[in-house]
């Protein structure tokens, strides 16, 4: 069917009405009317019924206008870029690109500043992800803190942890990391030496472990028993302690239980 045969109101085959053109390029009809009024992009076709329509060249010009506008060129300058043969559009685009690179750099710095503000205002570890890896080791995953919050965020212990951690700076965390490393080395040594749960050596290590946990929140003997069970049952903790010494997680769980029993706590009742 030719354009001449179309019924009134039907879109022409060789052009787009203003509504369809606006939808195609993602702007409002009002915007296209404005661009038409200022001579920026005028629909070059017209149907026999009087509809003004945008042809292929008009749509291509619309897309060029959108690109120029998106990179910050004012409409008055866009018209000159498109129509004035004396204007070097490529050179203008090169300058505009340089300005965009500068703007991106400024925005990246602003994002970094916002991230630091969020970090400083959030309870818990107030270290950047890079500082966390530096202090806690290459195997540390900063996402672990978020995962722990999702799991334990509603508990009294997490509230204590968040309050205490917020007061700790990099040097404090380095001390905690060093104490943790020293404890794990001594645990591995005792395990290799065959220290039995309930022995003086094992009990002393259990007390050191409880004191270290109490850095974060008040750790009772009963709570320590529950924590110790994760060392023997949670795959992540089992793998962690196996990397220190094979079977260490299960042994530490038994050491903690024996020490708790010596202090009047029945692990079997928990």
Instruction: Name the percent of the chain lying above pLDDT 70.
Output: 79
Answer whether 47's CB lies under 8 Å from 12's CB. yes
Q: Which pLDDT score is estimated for 121?
A: 43
User: Does 65 or 13 have the greater pLDDT score?
Assistant: 65
What the chain holds in terms of domains, given with CATH numbers, is 3-87 (1.10.1660.10), 129-269 (1.10.490.50)
Q: Which pLDDT score is estimated for 144?
A: 60
**Total Cβ atoms within 10 A of residue 218:** 10
Q: Which pLDDT score is estimated for 2?
A: 45
Instruction: List, in sequence order, the alpha helices (H) in 86-169.
Output: 89-121, 129-136, 143-152, 156-166
What distance in Å separates the CA atoms of residue 76 and residue 41, rounded to the nearest whole number? 12
What pTM did the predictor assign? 0.51
Helix axes 200-213, 221-233, angle to 10 degrees: 100
Q: Which pLDDT score is estimated for 252?
A: 96
Task: Report pLDDT digits (tens) over 100-115.
Answer: 888 788 777 777 665 5
Least confident range from 38-42, 49-53, 62-66: namely 49-53
What distance in Å separates the CA atoms of residue 221 and residue 204, rounded to the nearest whole number? 13
Instruction: HSE, CB side, 13 Å, CA atoms: give it for residue 245.
Output: 18
Task: Report pLDDT digits (tens) over 219-269.
Answer: 999 999 999 999 999 898 899 899 999 999 999 999 999 999 999 999 999
Q: Which pLDDT score is estimated for 127?
A: 62
User: Does 90 or 25 have the greater pLDDT score?
Assistant: 25
CA 125 to chain CA mean position, Å: 16
Helix (H) or strand (E) holding 255: helix 248-262
């Amino acid at each position: 069917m030719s354009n001449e045969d179309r019924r009134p109101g039907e879109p022409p085959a060789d052009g787009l009405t203003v509504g369809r053109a606006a939808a195609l390029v993602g702007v409002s009809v009002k915007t296209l009317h404005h661009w038409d009024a200022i001579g920026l992009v005028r629909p070059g076709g017209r149907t026999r019924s009087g509809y003004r329509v945008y042809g292929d060249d008009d749509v291509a010009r619309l897309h060029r206008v959108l690109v120029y506008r998106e990179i910050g060129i004012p409409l008055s300058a866009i018209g000159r870029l498109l129509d004035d043969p004396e204007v070097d559009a490529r050179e203008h685009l090169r300058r505009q690109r340089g300005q965009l690179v500068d703007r991106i750099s400024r925005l990246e710095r602003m994002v970094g500043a916002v991230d630091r503000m969020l970090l400083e205002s959030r309870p818990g570890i107030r270290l950047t992800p890079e500082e966390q890896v530096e202090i806690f080791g290459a195997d540390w995953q900063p996402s672990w803190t978020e995962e722990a919050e999702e799991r334990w965020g509603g508990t009294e212990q997490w509230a204590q942890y968040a309050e205490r951690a917020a007061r700790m700076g990099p040097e404090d965390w380095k001390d905690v990391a060093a104490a943790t490393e020293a404890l794990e080395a001594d645990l591995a040594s005792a395990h290799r030496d065959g220290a039995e749960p309930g022995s003086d050596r094992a009990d002393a290590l259990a007390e050191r472990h409880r004191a270290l946990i109490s850095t974060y929140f008040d750790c009772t003997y009963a709570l320590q028993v529950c924590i110790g069970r994760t060392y023997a049952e949670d795959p992540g903790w089992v793998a962690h302690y196996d990397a220190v010494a094979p079977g260490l997680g299960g042994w530490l769980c038994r050491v903690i239980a024996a020490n708790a029993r010596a202090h009047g706590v029945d692990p079997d009742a928990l």
